[in-house]
Amino acid sequence: MMKVDLLEIEKIFDELIKEKMLPEEASNWARARLFAYDNGDLEYQPARDKNKIFRSIKYLVGVDLKDVDGSYLHSVFNFIEFAKENSLIWNK
């Protein structure tokens, strides 16, 4: 069973926003959790935040997507907006 907790999600968004984590790293992390989900092997901590956690995982899977010119489709601004809209960050 693979566990994923909300604090881990918040840390990933914090690192993306501060540009301490590459989008590819975040996407790879999320893909592993999505694979575990597909196999019925993902546990949410806390369970009451399952929807928020899973929505964040689905978002993170695509943060490494690039435009035809090689630039990322998602920016730091997008990470901040998603995190705020989903109550993942407080005053960053």
Per-residue pLDDT tens digits for 43-64: 999 999 999 999 999 999 999 9
Per-residue pLDDT tens digits for 12-24: 999 999 999 999 9
Contact 44, 54 (CB under 8 A): yes
pTM of this structure: 0.92
DSSP secondary structure of the chain: -EEEEHHHHHHHHHHHHTT-S-HHHHHHHHHHHHHHHHTT-EEEESGGGHHHHHHHHHHHHTTT-B-TTS-BSS-HHHHHHHHHHTT--S--
